[in-house]
Chains A and B, each alone.
Chain A
Amino acid sequence: MWGGGKLGSSGGWFLRVLGPGGRNTKAVRPLISSVYVKNQLSWILQIKPGVFNEYRTMWFKSYRTTFSCLNRIKSFRYRWARLYSTSQTTVDSGEVKTFLALAHKWWDEQGIYAPLHSMNDLRVPFIRDNLLKTIPNHQPGKPLFGMKILDVGCGGGLLTEPLGRLGASVIGIDPVDENIKTAQCHKSFDPVLDKRIEYRVCSLEEIVEETAETFDAVVASEVVEHVIDLETFLQCCCQVLKPSGSLFITTINKTQLSYALGIVFSEQIAAIVPKGTHTWEKFVSPETLESILESNGLSVQTVVGMLYNPFSGYWHWSENTSLNYAAHAVKSGVQEHPMSAEFAFKGEAEELQANACTNPAVHEELKK
């Protein structure tokens, strides 16, 4: 009994390592759980067949993009290894180093960050228009007044400042100290922006607890292709969102085309993007993103492609999402979503674990 209790407790430990929230459809965890869990948690085994089916579907979907299925296996192994570490961060220290070197170049509109400056022509209206749908009467001149927005991986504040100008209260976070310094300095000249924007040097996980359910919108633009643990990252995004809050993501798809154009051409040939900025393996396909978002209680509203014309320096919306794309997801407002089922899941597991713990105590008692 005690042995069973131990396994039960280790099963409980396992669930906690997963992080808060996040019942997910990926086959990875349930597969591992079948190794750890014994009969006491047999209801997990019951959901296994369904999970396997989902895994197969996902596999077929990703088969379309030749490289990504291979990488799914690679990343599966990677995640296996990761699960054994107790690190909770999604920040990649290698990425931090890359951005540190370019920290003072953010605000040169014709410099290396020019494509990001001109991307504002797409992403600001995208965020603004989707948020305006939720505001019944907006103030003239300050359409986003009253909105609290979190800009994750804000860099030098290229996207944070326009959102602040539109009237929102924005918190911009970035793990690179120099980036925040640059952003802080730049906004300090404008007294209006200075009041509306706050910058902090930290990662998303560090502020999840204190800022749970406080933001009307979370923006992760050109960030998810730089994080280590996408699942955890998106879970955290969801946690800090108010119910019915919006999550905006722009990132790069994982396709042959994005390798050819996004890495080989952009970085190595034309130097549109500094070398080493992106790692193709970390690119995220819209399907992957959608599945993780949906499994975390975020309903995907829009996925739309973006195309950069290096000759004109302008971005355009496109139906083709094989290079860059933008996504808008909304957190469910009601609690009877898979989210609550997962809470019950966790709750029961903890209950069982508690029972398992008390049982030996009772047993001891009885023995006495």
Chain B
Amino acid sequence: VRSQGPPLSSFGVLASRATSDPSRPRRQRYDIHFHDKKILLLEAGPKKVLEKLSETYSNRVSSISPGSATLLSSFGAWDHICNMRYRAFRRMQVWDACSEALIMFDKDNLDDMGYIVENDVIMHALTKQLEAVSDRVTVLYRSKAIRYTWPCPFPMADSSPWVHITLGDGSTFQTKLLIGADGHNSGVRQAAGIQNVSWNYDQSAVVATLHLSEATENNVAWQRFLPSGPIALLPLSDTLSSLVWSTSHEHAAQLVSMDEEKFVDAVNSAFWSDADHTDFIDTAGAMLQYAVGLLKPTKVSARQLPPSVARVDAKSRVLFPLGLGHAAEYVRPRVALIGDAAHRVHPLAGQGVNMGFGDISSLAHHLSTAAFNGKDLGSMSHLTGYETERQRHNTALLAATDLLKRLYSTSAAPLVLRRWEQIMAFASK
């Protein structure tokens, strides 16, 4: 059935910021400047209704930074997450397999450094909030856009200046601003013809849910850089942790298919083994560490021992390929890209989703100011402001993450020493 959808005035971000008006202490679910804007969300998947939280933890988790948590709480989603489950961590220990060089990250007053939340929990919290603002935001599940019609670059008399979208079922919509939040294989980005710099790492990530040998406080995130790639243990509860192990495609495939016992052994040995050490590096490292300790006797603090793993949740082992991607442009007239559609990053720094939340925060801020200035939301003048702000931030992070990944992908001694120096420099800041 072909039908002309109702004209909508804008296709906007689903996450809006709270009003900063101090006379209104109650949190707004949406930004007041978007009050009379109409928003449509096209979701390819089905509606995820979580009647009851399952006892088994999901194997896909994200590390949510405090900034992202603030964004989520600004429109009430964080409250739902708190009512379900999440795990705060206060410390992060990162160390090198070859040299035992170590950084311990924590906040001085032992504030939470971040939160480990299952992706399903986040999605459910967001769905709940979407329902709460359903008078303002329309969500179409199981819908996919098959064709986009872009506006003319020059304003022409009879052609519509808006973006037209045709869905799989034939319905069409027109909008002033199209936001592409459709992942690293973004259809919006491809249809707009935006160049994407991307390459695949010759690595895959294996995720699993692990049971620890004994219950601990479990508020530390662990990451060890092996020559094959980093392995990370993220706390989920007192007895459970989530594994993210980036390694070569072959090794990843082996890990996923091997026995559960062998898998647990592999994980434990990855965290505990000294096999990659060489005497030279050990001695050199120890001497330099001592020297620096004399000059700056802080921060190279006591090494904690990571927990050991007892067993793995059945059927929780999954692998997915890794790559890097960065869109050359985040915006075009009436189009903006956010999240993985704009950038894709290695999980070693736990930054992927946080960069996406940062994009949302920035775009919402720019659109809110534009709306309060009576601007057409699809106008390039404020979209380029968003692009500049986020590209600067994301490019630096992407480059750093990529560099770290390459640096730690080798066990050659000189490079190991170099990265040890890097860690020491980092730690002394």
Identify which of residues 375-397 in chain B touch chain A, using a CB-to-CB cut-off of 8 Å: 375-376, 379-381
CA distance A120 to B373 in the complex (A): 8
For chain B, what secondary structure do more than half of its interface residues adopt (helix, strand, loop), or is it mixed? loop
At the interface with chain B, which of A2-10, A88-96, A137-145? A137-145
CA distance A164 to B372 in the complex (A): 12
| B32 at the binding interface (Cβ < 8 Å) | yes
Interface residues contributed by chain B, number (CB under 8 Å): 23
Q: Which residue of B lies closest to A167 (CB)?
A: B36
| B9 at the binding interface (Cβ < 8 Å) | yes
Which A residues are CB-close (under 8 A) to B161? 107, 186, 189
Q: Closest approach, in angstroms, between the C-beta of A117 and any C-beta of chain B?
A: 7
Q: Closest approach, in angstroms, between the C-beta of B243 and any C-beta of chain A?
A: 47
Which A residues are CB-close (under 8 A) to B373? 120-121, 124-125, 128, 162
Identify which of residues 32-67 in chain B touch chain A, using a CB-to-CB cut-off of 8 Å: 32-37
| B157 at the binding interface (Cβ < 8 Å) | yes
A128-B374, A162-B375 given; A141·B155 CB < 8 A: no
Whether the pair B374, A141 counts as a contact (CB closer than 8 A) is no
Q: Which residue of B lies closest to A111 (CB)?
A: B154
Which A residues are CB-close (under 8 A) to B34? 141
Q: Closest approach, in angstroms, between the C-beta of A14 and any C-beta of chain B?
A: 45
| B89 at the binding interface (Cβ < 8 Å) | no
Which A residues are CB-close (under 8 A) to B33? 140-141
CA distance A121 to B34 in the complex (A): 18
| A238 at the binding interface (Cβ < 8 Å) | no
A142-B35, A189-B160 given; A107·B155 CB < 8 A: yes
| B75 at the binding interface (Cβ < 8 Å) | no
A-B pair number, CB within 8 angstroms:
59
Contacting residue for B381 out of A118, A124, A141, A191, CB 8 A = A118
CA distance A120 to B155 in the complex (A): 19
Interface range on chain A (Cβ under 8 Å from partner):
20 to 34
CA distance A190 to B376 in the complex (A): 10
A185-B157, A190-B9 given; A140·B32 CB < 8 A: yes
Q: Closest approach, in angstroms, between the C-beta of B194 and any C-beta of chain A?
A: 18
Whether the pair B32, A162 counts as a contact (CB closer than 8 A) is no
Whether the pair B7, A140 counts as a contact (CB closer than 8 A) is no
CA distance A139 to B375 in the complex (A): 17
Q: Closest approach, in angstroms, between the C-beta of B135 and any C-beta of chain A?
A: 13
CA distance A121 to B372 in the complex (A): 11
| A192 at the binding interface (Cβ < 8 Å) | yes
Which A residues are CB-close (under 8 A) to B372? 128, 143, 166
CA distance A52 to B160 in the complex (A): 60
Q: Closest approach, in angstroms, between the C-beta of B105 and any C-beta of chain A?
A: 39
CA distance A139 to B35 in the complex (A): 9
Interface residues of A (CB under 8 A from B): 107-110, 117-118, 120-121, 124-125, 128, 139-143, 161-166, 185-186, 189-192
List 9 other contacts, CB 8 Å, given A128-B373, A141-B32: A107-B155, A109-B379, A117-B381, A121-B381, A139-B35, A162-B373, A166-B374, A186-B161, A189-B162
